[in-house]
């Protein structure tokens, strides 16, 4: 059992991670998304994998993503999520917001 210590993702950034992942890799199903986030963060960020799904539902309602059933490489049925135009726009919003907040935090903690 891998015992790498992982950090929980900051609250509110799950949408951002999903949106960014989808914009990078195109349509993905949930498992691929979880893996992709972990790998891209070099196994630092820990997503409680299940929590992807409520988030995805909310994003479906907002119209940021659409879902479609497809077949995996291993020939299994899986639901693939795809970014919509609204989702792309949302990604920009979330990114700039994150940048602002992160920058602000950064400035605060560097005022030693």
Partner 1 sequence: MHFDEFVRRVTMLVRGKRFQGDLDEEMRLHRELREEHYAASGMSSQAARSAAHRSFGNAVSIREASYGAWGWNWLESLTQDVRYGARSMFRSPGLTLVALLSLALGIGANTAIFSFIDAVLLRSLPVKDPARLVVLGDGDEMGITDRYGSTTLYSYPFFRQMQQKNAVFSNLAAVYSYSMDIHGTLNGNGEMQAMKVQLVSGSYFQTLGIRTAMGRAITEDDDSSEGDHPVAVISYAWWKRALGGDTNVLGRKIKLGTSTFQIVGVTPPEFFGTRVGEAPEVWIPMSMMESIPPGLNGYKDNFAQSMHIMGRLKPDVTREKATADVNLLYQQITRAFPDVKLIPRNVESLSKTHVVLTPMTRGLSSLRRSFSAPLEVLMAATALVLLIACANIANLLLARSTARAREFAVRQALGARRIRIVRQLLTESLMLALGGGAAGIGLAAVADRLLLHMVSRGSEVLPLDVSINTRLLLFTFAVTVATAVFFGIIPAVRGTQVKLTNALKDGRGSAGGGNSRSTLGKCLIIAQVAISLVLMVGAILFVRTLVNLTKLDTGFNREGVLRLEVDSNVTGLPESDPRMVLMFQEIERRVSALPGVRAASFASFVFAQGSWNTAVNVPGMTMNEKIDVKHNTIGNGYFATMQIPLVAGRIFGPQDTATSHKVAIISERMAKELFPAGVNPIGRHYFTGYDPIPNTDVEVVGIVKDVKFGDLQEDPEYIDYIPNPQRPWGYGSFAVRFDGNFNTLSNAVQQTIHSVNRDLPISGVTTLDEQVSRTMTNQRVVAQLSTFFGLLAVFLSCIGIYGLMSYMVSRRTNEIGIRIAIGATRGNVSWLIMSDIVLLVTIGIAVGIPVSIAGSRLVANMLYGLPGTDVASLLGAVVTLMLVSTMSGYLPAHQAAHLDPTVALRRE
Residues 12-51 that bind partner 1 (CB under 8 A): 29-31, 34, 48-51
- Minimum distance from CB of 85 to partner 1 (Å)? 12
Smallest separation, CB 1 to partner 1 (Å): 6
| Tokens read off for 105 | 């935090």
User: Which residues does residue 82 pair with via DSSP β-bridges, in sequence order?
Assistant: 66
Q: Is 76 in the site for partner 1 (CB under 8 A)?
A: yes
**Cβ distance 49 to 34 under 8 Å?**
yes
Q: Up-side HSE of residue 3: CA atoms within 13 Å toward CB?
A: 0
Residues that bind partner 1 (CB under 8 A): 1-2, 29-31, 34, 48-51, 53-54, 56-58, 60-63, 69, 76-79
């Amino acid at each position: 059992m891998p015992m790498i210590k992982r950090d929980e993702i900051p609250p509110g950034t799950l949408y951002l991670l999903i949106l960014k992942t989808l914009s990078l890799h195109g349509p993905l199903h949930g498992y691929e998304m979880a893996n992709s986030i972990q790998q891209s963060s070099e196994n630092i960020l820990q997503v409680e994998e299940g929590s992807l799904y409520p988030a995805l539902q909310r994003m479906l309602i907002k119209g940021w993503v659409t879902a479609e059933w497809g077949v995996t490489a291993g020939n299994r049925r899986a639901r693939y999520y795809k970014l919509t135009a609204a989702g792309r726009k949302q990604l920009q919003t979330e990114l700039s917001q994150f940048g602002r907040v992160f920058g602000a935090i950064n400035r605060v903690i560097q005022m030693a």
